[in-house]
Every structure is written in C-alpha cells, then in structure tokens.
C-alpha cells in the first residue's frame, strides 16, 4: 500500500472494513482523510454494505494528525494546509451516516484519531490501547470535536483531567468511563467490531451519536462549578499558555449552546491558537525532539545497535545513583561501584529512595531493584557492556578510573564519562581505546530529567554513539549527540546564564528580582534558587574550567566563595540566597544582602559606584542574550549538528520553557539583529562579557535566522 492509504474490503457479512495505513504509526494526513471520505461515501451507497468498521494497520489505530502539517501551516501562515474534517467528515459523513460506523481501536489512539473514533457510533478496543487527547501539549485544543464529544461520553471532571493534563488512559479505564464500549483481546478485535456494527443495524446494540448526548454533563449549575474551578486552577498551573483557558471556554460554550455549536466554536479557536507563538514553539519542540536521532553516518547506513544489557556505574553519589536508577528502571542490570562499603550502602539507599519517590507498584519497584548490585572492586566488570564514570569533577581521579576500567572490562565495553564540563580527550588520556570513549552526560536528577547529552570525540566510533543512543531510548531519554569541548553543548551554552545573573547582581540588581523575572519568563526557578539547589561547589568547579577555556567571557564573581565563607551552602544546609525549612517553600533571606554588598564592593563594577537602572524586560534579556550568544558560538564551532538540537537541549536539560520553542527558536522570534545590537550596547556599557560573537554579528547583519544551517563549522574552516 502506498504511503497515506486507506483500503476497503467488504466481507460476506456485509461489513466494510476500512484500514488506515501510514507506517509507522498511521498518522492522519490530508490524503488519508480524502480517501477515508471517498470510501465511506462509497460504502454508504453500496447495497452490499450494511455497516462499516474503521481499523488501523499493524495493530496501531493512529498517532493522530501528522504534526508536520501544523509546522507547514505555521510557516506558510496558511490554515488550509491542516485538513478541515470536523464538520464535513466527522459530523456529516460519519456521525450522521445512515449505516453504523464502529471504530476498532488498538495501540495508540491519539488526538485527531481519538476524535475520529468518538465520531463513530461505537468503539471496541484491544487490551492496553492508549487513548489520549494530547493537543494542549502542542499549544492548541482538539480541533475535530474532542472538546465537545469527550465530556459527553465520560462526564466533565474526567474529560477535563484528560484534556488539560493531556492524560493518557488505557482501554480498560476508558471502558469503565464510557469512552470504550468493549475491551477484547487483540486477536478478537476485528471479529467483535464487525458483529457490534451488525448488532447496531438491528438495534441489538445502541446507535449512539455522542454529539447529541447530554446525560453525562450533569446540570448547568454542576457544569459551571466544575469549569469555574478548573479555570482558577489553570491560571496558576498554565501561566503564559493560552490553550488551557481557551479549552475551558470552548467546553463551556458547548455545554451552554449544544454540541454542534461547540464543534464550530472549537474549530474557530483551534484555528486561532495554531498561529500563536505558543503553538509554534511547542510544535517546533515536538518535531525537534524527534529529529535528534537523525544522524548522518551513525544511523543512516544500516548500522545496527549492539545490545547493552549490563552497565557498571562508578560512583554512588547523587549523579551515579540517579543514573543507576534510570538504568534499572529501563530493564538494564547495573553494577554500582563505590570505594568502600559505607559509601556503597549510601549509594544503594539513594537508589532505593529514588525508586520509592516514583510511586511505582511494589512489583515494579522490586523488579527494578533486583537489577541492582553493589560492588567495591572491578572484579565483575568483565561482564559489562558499558561503564559510566560518575565521580566528582577531578581530572586525575577520572583519568585513573578510566585506565582501571579499561583494564577490567571486556574489549567491546563502552567507556563513558558523566562529566558535565571536562574535555573527554583529557578524561581518557591514560587509556588505549580512544574509540570506545564517549560522554554520557545526564542531568540531575538523572532518573527524572529527560535529556542525555552524548559527547563524541574525533576518535569515538559511530557504533558506540549508536549503542548509547539506543540505551537512551531504552531508558526513555531524548539523546542529543554533540562534539567534544569544555562544557559540551548544554553547559557551555548555559554557562553565561548564571554568569550574567552574577554580573547583574554585582551591577546592583536585586537577586530576588532576577529570580522572579526569570520565573515569570517560564523557567521553573531562577538562577539563584537553582544555584542553592545544586550546591555552590558545582558552580565554583565549573567556573574554574570555563575560565581556563573561555577567559574572554568569564565573569569572576567572588559571591559564591563569600557565601561559603559565611556558612551558606545552599539548600543542603538550609541557608543560601533563600532559607529552607522543612515543609515550607524557600523564603528569600534578607540576611544574605550584606554578603552581596561585600561582593559588589570587591568587584566594583557598578558605573560610578551606583546600581544600574534597567527595566524588567531588559533584565531578562541581559540574562538570556548572552546564552544565545554562546549558543551561536556552539553552532559556529559545529558542536551540534543542527540548531534545533540546542532547542531540545535547552528545554529538556535546562528547563527553558518549551512553549518558547527553545533558545535558538526563541531568539529567532525576537530577531538576531535585536539580540546583536543589545549585546553590542551592553558590551560598551558593562564590558567584554556581553561582546557579540562573530557568528551572531554576521547573521544579524545579513538578516539570516540563527537556526539556518551552518554551511561550514569554524573547526572545519580552520583545518582547510
């Protein structure tokens, strides 16, 4: 079958089976909808057809609308690119059809696919089918009846939970709620669906048009109460995102004025939302995350990943135990190595606490923990497929561990480091197997943060990179593959984030104002609270590394050392910029202000000795434009393959707000020229730290977006 096809087969029982096929997950394109409409119309007109069953090919109903279509429409500013099926196909052809249409569901039934299924007269599902309306994740609302039919089928409270949280449910839960009429084993799906469709024709089963139902909506008063409460909640939980409020407004209108009115209103709002910046950012983020594994040479020449079944993690501290947790949860056996039994016990207890914190079923938690074994020497390393070093950022220690690991492991074993900053060539200097050395940079907490930065040197083999990318997928992380340099892609790009925050404080800006503004921008916490959380030791160590590699743009702030001297270590001892007390939120600590004053006195960077006066908007830009500037250098140096990888890294690794599309996407919405001229101005006022990079200057002057491909990275230019 050609891509984007639908076939029709009419059986002896007079049931027409329409099969949607668009591998791998049968996403719905304009061509599929056209063909579906054509075949449904034909089936309705044929005398030998009594009823219709819709099914997806290969045990998957459908992953919903093809999200690429959204991006194409957004770029072209043309709504007609997105198939308009809500009224003509879903209401007129399917729901109001003269013959019953039954949806046979299996695998993913997401977004527009669930909307399609809800417009049918019954839904039969295989066990463990996944039902979800994830549209809000893309910055829109369902555009084909989802906001109207779902509440009518399962009631408002549950529908709001599924819609506002993009919560996925199984067919079993769907059956209890009334979304699914019957759950059957996969092998019986088609048989039961056919019979169900025939039963509808003779009224043995009800013929239900969900748009016309009101029985599950409750009274108007009840409906208003539920919606009002949800509106108050999303004001707090979905700041800066219009789609949640819009979704509730549309549902409300459907409840007041009826299902058909709801459908029309939904379509109108969907079409407005899809062109808003939020949706553009979220669609970009969705597609960029799926593009990170498309790597020339590594996975486009039929290379196959080798199985990685057993991994040694060296170091049972916060990072090591987090990595071990992520691996055992992904069905990979782990040897956790520490230097003595006391540290080992601590590490194992941390893994256990991590697992407990995830609230898994007892069985799942126990199975995961059975995959963990603690060791204090290298004797069992001869059985591992990969070793990940996760000790503190001490070069000599890392070099020794790498040399010992190389001796103890089998020759195929991948030798990975979780260093966040140090050049991998230095880490692996004392080993012979340079082709097996790779960076596996996890983000803290490693069992929760979804990013894995895979760092390759000039010598790392493509096989090793592919193996690690596959491990990432197994443990549900998004991998980005980057080249080797101090800080790699993520920490290097975001080093100026805390640097500029420190520079601003030393220029006289209040720390808590900065944290508040960065929070309003969409980061979960500001740079100072983040530093409190991570502990100052990490920041001091990375600043040392960065100042060696990038001395021209490192701001040496004495503030962290002053805080440490004053007995403040951040959250770990309850005292940092904020006060941390058990059971209450962190509170700004005014007793930190004299320490900050001391730092200002020592750096003496305030022009004329007076705090600078800048607007809130400018503060956010002064913190984030230096990040964009470094991202430009990272692109220019060819550290990442494509700009969108930096967008993914900034969202998944640094919690940059996903609805802003990532650091480069956001900068392009502002314009390279504005970023450049702002940095140029600040560099004249406040020094070299802000000096725009050559790459940024060139793109700004030539009017080229920062996301446009780099024709030749600077390191390639240098080798000419």
Ligand X SMILES: C[C@H](O)CC(=O)SCCNC(=O)CCNC(=O)[C@H](O)C(C)(C)COP(=O)(O)OP(=O)(O)OC[C@H]1O[C@@H](n2cnc3c(N)ncnc32)[C@H](O)[C@@H]1OP(=O)(O)O
x/- track of binding to ligand X for residues 128-157 (CB under 6 A):
------xx--x---xxx-x-----------
Q: List CB contacts of 279: < 8 A, sequence separation 6 or more.
A: 70, 74, 138, 139, 140, 243, 273
For residues 388 and 311, give the distance between their C-alpha atoms in angstroms, rounded to a whole number.
Answer: 7
Q: Contacting ligand X (CB under 6 A), which of 29, 57, 68, 431?
A: 68
> Cβ 414 to ligand X, closest distance in Å?
23
Burial of 300 (0-12, 13-18, 19+ CB in 10 A): exposed
3-state SS class at 336: strand
Cβ-based nearer residue to ligand X, 65 or 443: 65
CB 109 within 8 A of CB 129: yes
> Cβ 272 to ligand X, closest distance in Å?
14
x/- track of binding to ligand X for residues 303-332 (CB under 6 A):
------------------------------
> Cβ 59 to ligand X, closest distance in Å?
11
> Which one is catalytic: 106, 115, 406, 630?
115
Cβ-based nearer residue to ligand X, 8 or 295: 295
Cβ-based nearer residue to ligand X, 112 or 526: 112
Number of Cβ atoms within 10 Å of the Cβ of 411: 7
For residue 345 the two structure tokens come to: 């016990």
> Which one is catalytic: 106, 135, 252, 253?
135
Burial of 203 (0-12, 13-18, 19+ CB in 10 A): exposed
Cβ-based nearer residue to ligand X, 373 or 473: 473
Cα angle 206-212-215, degrees, rounded to a multiple of 5: 80
Cβ-based nearer residue to ligand X, 146 or 262: 146
Number of Cβ atoms within 10 Å of the Cβ of 694: 11
> Cβ 201 to ligand X, closest distance in Å?
30
> Cβ 103 to ligand X, closest distance in Å?
15
> Cβ 85 to ligand X, closest distance in Å?
8
Burial of 326 (0-12, 13-18, 19+ CB in 10 A): buried
For residues 489 and 506, give the distance between their C-alpha atoms in angstroms, rounded to a whole number.
Answer: 27
Q: Confirm or reject binding of residue 662 to ligand X (CB under 6 A).
A: no
x/- track of binding to ligand X for residues 446-485 (CB under 6 A):
----------------------------------------
Question: Strands 437-442, 451-456: parallel, antiparallel or unpaired by DSSP?
Answer: antiparallel
For residues 78 and 97, give the distance between their C-alpha atoms in angstroms, rounded to a whole number.
Answer: 31
How many residues sit close enough to ligand X to count as binding (CB under 6 A)? 22
- The distance in angstroms from the start CA to the end CA of the chain is 48
Per the annotation, the verdict on 135 as an active-site residue is yes
Q: List CB contacts of 24: < 8 A, sequence separation 6 or more.
A: 60
Q: Which stretch binds ligand X (CB under 6 A): 108-116, 173-181, 352-360, 660-668?
A: 108-116
> Cβ 293 to ligand X, closest distance in Å?
7
The footprint of ligand X on residues 8-67 (CB under 6 A) is 24-25, 27, 63-67
For residues 704 and 685, give the distance between their C-alpha atoms in angstroms, rounded to a whole number.
Answer: 27
Q: What is the DSSP string of 211-262?
A: GG--TTT--HHHHHHHHHHHHHHHHHHSTT-HHHHHHHHHHHHHHHH-HHHH
Cβ-based nearer residue to ligand X, 163 or 372: 163
Cβ-based nearer residue to ligand X, 297 or 540: 297
> Cβ 82 to ligand X, closest distance in Å?
7
Burial of 664 (0-12, 13-18, 19+ CB in 10 A): buried
x/- track of binding to ligand X for residues 268-307 (CB under 6 A):
----------------------x-----------------
Cβ-based nearer residue to ligand X, 73 or 592: 73
Q: Contacting ligand X (CB under 6 A), which of 6, 91, 110, 326?
A: 110
Catalytic positions, please? 115, 135
Q: Which residues bind ligand X (CB under 6 A)?
A: 24-25, 27, 63-68, 108, 110-112, 115, 134-135, 138, 142-144, 146, 290
């Amino acid at each position: 079958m050609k891509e984007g096809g639908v076939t029709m087969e009419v059986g002896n029982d007079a049931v027409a089976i329409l099969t949607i096929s668009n591998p791998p997950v049968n996403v719905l394109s304009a061509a599929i909808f056209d063909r579906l409409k054509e075949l449904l119309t034909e089936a309705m007109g044929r005398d030998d057809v009594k009823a219709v069953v819709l099914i997806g090919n290969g045990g998957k109903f459908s992953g919903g609308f093809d999200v690429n279509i959204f991006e194409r429409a957004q770029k072209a500013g043309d709504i007609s690119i997105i198939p308009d099926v809500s009224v003509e196909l879903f209401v007129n052809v399917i729901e109001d059809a003269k013959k019953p249409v039954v949806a046979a569901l299996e695998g993913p039934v997401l977004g527009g696919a669930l909307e399609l299924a809800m417009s049918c007269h019954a839904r039969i599902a295989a066990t463990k089918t996944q039902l979800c309306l994830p549209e809000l994740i893309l910055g829109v609302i369902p555009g084909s009846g989802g906001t109207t039919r779902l509440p009518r089928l399962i009631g408002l409270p549950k529908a709001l939970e599924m819609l506002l949280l993009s919560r996925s449910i199984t067919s079993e839960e769907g059956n209890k709620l009334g979304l699914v009429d019957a759950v059957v084993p996969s092998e019986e799906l088609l048989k039961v669906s056919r019979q169900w469709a025939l039963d509808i024709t003779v009224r043995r089963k009800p013929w239900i048009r969900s748009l016309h139902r009101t029985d599950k909506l409750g009274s108007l008063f009840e409906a208003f109460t539920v919606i009002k409460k949800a509106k108050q909640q999303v004001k707090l939980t979905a700041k800066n995102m219009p789609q949640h409020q819009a979704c509730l407004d549309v549902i409300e209108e459907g409840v007041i004025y009826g299902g058909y009115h709801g459908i029309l209103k939904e379509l109108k709002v969907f079409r407005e939302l899809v062109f808003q910046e939020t949706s553009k950012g979220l669609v970009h983020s969705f597609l960029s995350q799926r593009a990170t594994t498309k790597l020339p040479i590594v996975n486009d020449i039929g290379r196959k990943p080798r199985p990685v079944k057993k991994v040694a993690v060296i170091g049972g501290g916060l990072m090591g135990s987090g990595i071990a947790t992520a691996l055992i949860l992904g069905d990979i056996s782990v040897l956790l190595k520490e230097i003595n039994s006391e540290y080992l016990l601590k590490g194992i207890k941390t893994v256990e606490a991590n697992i407990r914190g995830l609230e898994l079923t007892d069985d799942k938690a126990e199975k995961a923990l059975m995959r963990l074994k603690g060791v204090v020497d290298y004797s069992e390393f001869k059985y591992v497929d990969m070793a990940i070093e996760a000790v503190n950022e001490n070069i000599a220690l890392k070099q020794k561990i790498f040399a010992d690991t190389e001796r103890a492991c089998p020759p195929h074993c991948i030798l990975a480091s979780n260093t966040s900053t140090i050049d991998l060539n230095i880490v692996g200097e004392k080993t012979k197997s340079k082709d097996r050395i790779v960076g596996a940079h996890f983000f803290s907490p490693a069992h929760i943060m979804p990013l894995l930065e895979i760092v390759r040197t000039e010598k790392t083999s493509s096989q090793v990179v592919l193996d690690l990318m596959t491990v990432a997928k197994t443990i549900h992380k998004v991998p980005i593959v980057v080249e080797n340099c101090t800080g790699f892609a993520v920490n290097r790009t975001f080093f100026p984030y805390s640097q500029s925050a420190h520079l601003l404080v030393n220029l006289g800006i209040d720390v808590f104002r900065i944290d508040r503004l960065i929070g309003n921008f969409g980061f979960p916490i500001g740079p100072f609270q983040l530093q409190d959380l991570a502990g100052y030791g990490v920041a001091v160590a990375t600043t040392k590394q960065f100042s060696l590699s990038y001395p021209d743009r490192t701001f040496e702030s004495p503030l962290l050392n002053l805080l440490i001297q004053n007995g403040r270590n951040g959250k770990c001892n309850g005292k940092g910029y904020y006060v941390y007390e058990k059971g209450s939120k962190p509170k700004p600590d005014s007793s930190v202000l004299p320490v900050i004053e001391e730092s200002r006195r020592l750096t003496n960077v305030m022009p004329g000795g007076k705090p600078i006066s800048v607007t809130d908007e400018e503060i956010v830009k002064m913190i984030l434009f230096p990040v964009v500037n470094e991202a430009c250098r990272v692109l220019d140096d060819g550290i990442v393959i494509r700009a969108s990888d930096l967008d993914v890294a900034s969202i998944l690794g640094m919690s940059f707000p996903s609805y802003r599309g990532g650091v480069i996407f956001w900068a392009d919405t502002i314009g390279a020229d504005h970023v450049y001229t702002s940095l140029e101005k600040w560099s004249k006022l406040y020094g070299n730290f802000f000096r725009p990079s050559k790459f940024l200057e060139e793109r700004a002057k030539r009017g080229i977006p920062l996301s446009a491909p780099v024709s030749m990275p600077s390191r390639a230019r240098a080798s000419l």
